[in-house]
């Protein structure tokens, strides 16, 4: 189980981030009030936290992938998926910034 959490870590963080951002933008649409800015801020904060998480995982995994003499597939895949997850988080972090009016 821990092995899979490590391999999938970056993508799990991406999932968490996606669900959070989706919840925040839905709430922003629901309240229809002037508090859109607050939801945007909450969403941005989540993005920063998740982005840092993915970044940290990438650093750890890529170091392990490089260090061990026979680095396993798990280390490589963990590093790569943390990287792709991080890119996904970055792109979705842009989204709330482009709200209308």
Binding-site ranges for other proteins (CB under 8 A): 3, 7-8, 11-12, 14-15, 18, 21-22, 25-26, 28-30, 36, 72-74, 76-77, 80-81, 84-85, 87-88, 91-92, 94-101
Burial class (CB in 10 A: 0-12, 13-18, 19+), 85: buried
Neighbouring C-alpha atoms within 13 Å toward the C-beta of 98: 5
Q: Which is nearer to other proteins, 56 or 85 (CB)?
A: 85
Q: Which is nearer to other proteins, 52 or 95 (CB)?
A: 95
- Sign of the CA dihedral running 40, 41, 42, 47: positive
Q: Which is nearer to other proteins, 26 or 52 (CB)?
A: 26
Least distance CB 49 / other proteins (angstroms):
17
Q: Which residues contact 2 (CB under 8 A, 6 or more apart)?
A: none
């Amino acid at each position: 189980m821990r092995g899979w959490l490590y391999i999938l870590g970056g993508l799990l963080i991406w999932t968490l981030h996606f669900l959070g951002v989706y919840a925040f933008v839905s709430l922003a649409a629901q309240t229809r009030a002037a508090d859109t800015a607050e939801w945007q801020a909450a969403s941005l904060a989540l993005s920063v936290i998740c982005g840092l998480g993915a970044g940290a995982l990438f650093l750890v995994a890529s170091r392990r992938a490089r260090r061990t003499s026979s680095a396993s597939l798990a280390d490589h895949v963990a590093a790569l998926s943390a990287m792709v997850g991080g890119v996904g988080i970055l792109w979705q972090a842009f989204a709330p910034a482009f709200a209308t009016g």
